[in-house]
A and B are shown apart, each in its own frame.
Chain A
Amino acid sequence: MRVKSRWLALLLVLGLVLAACGGDSGTEDDDAGTTTTTAASGGETTTTAGETTTTAGGEEPMEIATDFGVDLEAGVIRVGMLSDLTGPFGPLVSAILAGAQAYWDDVNANGGIEGLEVELVVRDTVYVVDTHIQYYNEIKDDVVAIGHSTGSPHTVALNADLQADGMLAIPLTWYSGWSDSDINANLVSHGTPYCIEAMNTIGYITSEVLDGATTIAIASLPGDYGQDSAAGAKLAAEALGLEVVYDGEGAIIPSDESSLTTVASEIVEAQPDLAWVATTPGTFSSIFGQALEGYSGMWSGPSPAWSPAYVAPGSAISDAITERFIGGTYTAGWTSEGAEAFHGLFTDAGLPVSDYYFEGVVEAKILEAALRQAHANGDMTRQGVLDAAKSLDNVSFDGIAPDESYTGADNDRVQRQGYIYRPDPEGLAAGTSGGRMDLEAFYTSDIAANYEFTGACYDLAG
């Protein structure tokens, strides 16, 4: 009897649940009720006996629609940041976030977005997909847009949710798929994708530094970043007629020391004129160090492979890397032309010299443009901000990054301009640079210029 009643209770619970879930298939859910508030933009209402006068000052009071993350009464716009602060790209993203915060502080101090202050809601995702999704769900009803979302698989994992929520996100990853309108309905990318960055950098090195180079070795991490970059390097090699003497696409496993040794010895064996290595700083330094004995050619890699620690005081490889490394990246560094105007922003915030703040500023500027546009449209709902961002056709960054556009065909829109730099140990030691010195700004190699973009260079399948 006792056993029976227990199972009965369980059945009851089951039945209740089934009824709840089964009953509503096919019903589409709307977002929570959209509230409309009148912003007192210059208008003032005074009530005198028997008569209502509205002194509008020549302007009509503007109606601004809001739903999530924008509080017109408190004068606050909340923006979510899904950052990897303590994971493998923690160093990079912490600095980027600091840059973004410094920029928003400045915007807020100068009147904000038409009087509204922007507040960042930051969550540390540790570069784990689950955590990323969980934090997105935690903050999504508090924010109007995602100011950056670290990591490609992580951002892909959110894509369906973003579309369901009508939420704008700026991917903090330069996967070439973000420029493909098939998947970027809710994303606005910026900077040269890994793939085109590889074409730019390899194009620059072969034409300016290694005239007459005939061979290249390519090694990368598996996944979006490494393999997208490796795909670009291969396209560049093909266009330039370079022979790929070692193809280590996806061969670098950070958790596996022996894979680094293998890659290093393959590079030594292949003796290429140029080694293109798309990986993390720690593993790059390991491969570079291990191959140094037998290979003394040129090295290069995409932006996330570089770290100023290579040329920091006390680094054993400082001299070697200064002599043999040329890198590519997306935004200005501390010593870039056009960057000085921003130095005050960071030094005032008590931040040390670093090249990475500008990426944060670029992200913030895109969002700022979208928010201002949304405000002008009178629609600061999530969907409104998304639509506003997608209608931007010329976002400029005051000289710290090439202009971006989010309208028009993918091939016209994809970013092809980037920066080429060399290591700068003297500047880093003196505290006048973040460790990199620009060789070229807004540079486009012939291969990148002629490349017809039809979709992601590396397919993030499934």
Chain B
Amino acid sequence: MNELILILAQTGTRETPLAAAISEGLSLGAIYALLAMGFVIIFKATQVLNFAHGALAGLGAFLVASFATLINFPGRYLPESVPQWLSWTLSALCALIAAALVGMILERVFIRPMIGEELFAVAIVTLGIDIALRNVTNDFIGTDPRPLGDPWGLNILDLGWITFAHTEVAQILVSIVLVSAVALFFRTKTGIAMRATAFDQEAARAQGINVGRIFSISWAIGAVMAAVAGIFVSVYPRRAAGVDPSTAFFAFKALPAIILGGLDSVGGAVIGGFAIGIAEAFVGEFVRFDFLGSGFAGIVPYLLMLIVLIVRPYGLFGTEEIRRV
């Protein structure tokens, strides 16, 4: 055993720092983009900045862990011959449906009564939801992290000079698919209704748009986005042990992304997400001065955000508010 480990230690594949920074930046960026998109969809349709997004991400990941490993649903009703990846995907889909339901319920119970109130007041309501939801989720997570039992495992995709974990490939692919889906969605009838609602709730209503339904849909989509991001935060290589209470805090890192892109721009959110992810990874990999201490890369997104806001107070792609008395 001794020699084996020593030999293993010498044959481990190594990326160049540049390749490492690129793969790390893309994978972080994909997660930030997913989170940022969730924020933006809810904001675009309902004008609510959803501080409960992190709690929804944590809850989503926990739901996947419960469906996939704790109760094994629907896997336990499937024949043995069904491959693990398929049954896991089915479990994850069930969990996403559950997450969407939670999102809709939260909107119906807590956000709907606030229609017409100040933006700030509604944002603080979501802060209240965040506190309550996070604590309930943490109680369910319980004492130890909960592994998600995902099918990607520790597999690595080796492209020669750069390597990606299968989870990272999945992250990037899923975020591309979801971004395109959302972009297309905004061209559908419901999507256009959503944009109209965001523009002016009363006028949209007068046009025969069911504003309540739009609210429900946007929260359902937002919750699913959060849950998907939560899954990728809670698997190898980020949190190989599984979902734990820290998952919920990840979402705050996506706030600079939406500021960078502008609160109401889906494309901006994606670009912002990848931009801060890559910036963080590159700073983490290359900027290592002792006087910076530890954790400097972690605040790079916030510094970037401050700089952008000094230049453009509405973000890079945000719509400037027309100020009227």
Direct touch of chains A and B (CB < 8 A): yes
Contact residue range for chain B?
35 or more
**Complex Cα spacing A209 to B1, Å:** 8
Given contacts A209-B1, A285-B241, contact A258 B12 (CB under 8 A): no
Check if A289 sits within 8 Å of B240, measured CB to CB: yes
* Cβ-based interface call for B6 (8 A): yes
Check if A308 sits within 8 Å of B253, measured CB to CB: no
Q: How many residues of A contact B (CB 8 A)?
A: 57
Report the minimal beta-carbon distance from A230 to chain B, rounded to whole angstroms.
13
Q: Which of B193-201, B221-229, B231-239, B315-323 contacts its partner?
A: B231-239
Q: Which of A252, A268, A271, A320 contacts B154 (CB 8 A)?
A: A320
* Cβ-based interface call for B2 (8 A): yes
* Cβ-based interface call for A310 (8 A): yes
Check if B241 sits within 8 Å of A315, measured CB to CB: yes
Q: Which residues of B contact A91 (CB under 8 A)?
A: 142-144
* Cβ-based interface call for B54 (8 A): no
Q: Which of A171-179, A291-299, A366-374 contacts its partner?
A: A291-299
Contact digits for B250-264, partner A, Cβ 8 Å, 1 yes 0 no: 100100000000000
Contact digits for B51-94, partner A, Cβ 8 Å, 1 yes 0 no: 00000000000000100110000000000000000000000000
Report the minimal beta-carbon distance from B187 to chain A, rounded to whole angstroms.
34
Given contacts A292-B237, A295-B12, A316-B240, contact A210 B294 (CB under 8 A): no
Check if A281 sits within 8 Å of B69, measured CB to CB: no
Q: Which residues of A contact B163 (CB under 8 A)?
A: 293
Q: Which residues of A contact B2 (CB under 8 A)?
A: 209-212
Given contacts A258-B281, A285-B145, A296-B12, contact A317 B239 (CB under 8 A): no
Report the minimal beta-carbon distance from B255 to chain A, rounded to whole angstroms.
14
**Complex Cα spacing A209 to B285, Å:** 32
Report the minimal beta-carbon distance from A350 to chain B, rounded to whole angstroms.
15
Q: Which residues of A contact B240 (CB under 8 A)?
A: 285-286, 288-289, 310, 315-317
Q: Which of A250, A257, A295 has the most CB of B within 10 A?
A: A257
Q: Which residues of A contact B145 (CB under 8 A)?
A: 281-282, 285, 307, 309
Q: Which residues of A contact B238 (CB under 8 A)?
A: 257, 286, 289-290
Q: Which of B12, B148, B281 contacts A268 (CB 8 A)?
A: B12
**Complex Cα spacing A288 to B109, Å:** 42
**Complex Cα spacing A310 to B146, Å:** 9
* Cβ-based interface call for A222 (8 A): yes
**Complex Cα spacing A282 to B243, Å:** 9
Check if A293 sits within 8 Å of B165, measured CB to CB: yes
In the complex, the chain A residue whose C-beta lies closest to that of B151 is A316
**Complex Cα spacing A213 to B246, Å:** 35
Q: Which residues of B contact A396 (CB under 8 A)?
A: none
Check if B149 sits within 8 Å of A290, measured CB to CB: no
Given contacts A94-B143, A290-B237, A314-B148, contact A257 B250 (CB under 8 A): yes
In the complex, the chain B residue whose C-beta lies closest to that of A307 is B144
Given contacts A257-B298, A259-B298, contact A285 B239 (CB under 8 A): yes
* Cβ-based interface call for A377 (8 A): no
Further contacts, 16 of them, CB under 8 A, given A312-B147, A313-B69: A86-B138, A210-B6, A212-B2, A261-B297, A265-B285, A271-B12, A284-B241, A285-B145, A296-B11, A297-B6, A309-B147, A312-B144, A314-B65, A314-B69, A315-B240, A316-B153
Please give the residue numbers on chain B whose beta carbons come within 8 Å of chain A beta carbons, in ascending order: 1-2, 5-6, 8-15, 17, 20, 24, 28, 65, 68-69, 135, 138, 142-150, 152-154, 156, 163, 165, 235-242, 244, 246, 249-250, 253, 280-281, 283-285, 288, 294-295, 297-298, 300
Please give the residue numbers on chain A whose beta carbons come within 8 Å of chain B beta carbons, in ascending order: 86, 90-91, 94-95, 209-213, 222, 250-259, 261-262, 264-265, 268-269, 271-273, 281-282, 284-286, 288-290, 292-298, 307-310, 312-317, 320, 324
18 interchain pairs, CB-CB under 8 A:
A252-B294, A259-B298, A262-B284, A262-B288, A262-B297, A265-B284, A269-B14, A282-B239, A285-B145, A285-B241, A289-B236, A293-B12, A293-B156, A297-B6, A309-B241, A314-B68, A317-B241, A320-B154
